[in-house]
Amino acid sequence: MIEKVFAVLVVAVCAVMLLRLALGPARQQRFDRFFLRLWHGLRARAIALWRWPRSRKAAQQLADDAIRRAREGRWEGNVYTPEQFKKPPKDKMH
């Protein structure tokens, strides 16, 4: 079974290469650009699919951190003041 699939792939690649040779120089360039764009698009989609679970996990962690920081602050009407922006008490010694 795998031998037949491999043979079909080889025949298809050979047919595409033979077709490319039959084209003129301008059409060869268009043909090459088409397959190069196709290859880059497929590669980019495969990489995005491979990295999707990690990016989704990172996005969830960033959202959780933002929610946690928002809960720690203080809201006065429409104004949010984070706890980390509180000024330290004034030093009476100086």
Tens of pLDDT, residue by residue, the chain (94 residues): 899 999 999 999 999 999 999 999 999 999 999 999 999 999 999 998 888 878 888 888 989 988 887 777 777 788 777 776 666 667 666 5
pTM for the full model?
A: 0.49
List 79's β-bridge partners, or say none. 76
The predicted structure's pLDDT at residue 71:
77
The predicted structure's pLDDT at residue 73:
72
Tell me which residue of 68, 67, 66, 72 sits closest to 85, measured CA to CA: 72
To 10 degrees, what angle do helices 2-22 and 25-72 make? Answer: 120
Which residues, 6+ apart, have CB-to-CB distance to 19 below 8 Å?
Answer: 31
The predicted structure's pLDDT at residue 55:
81
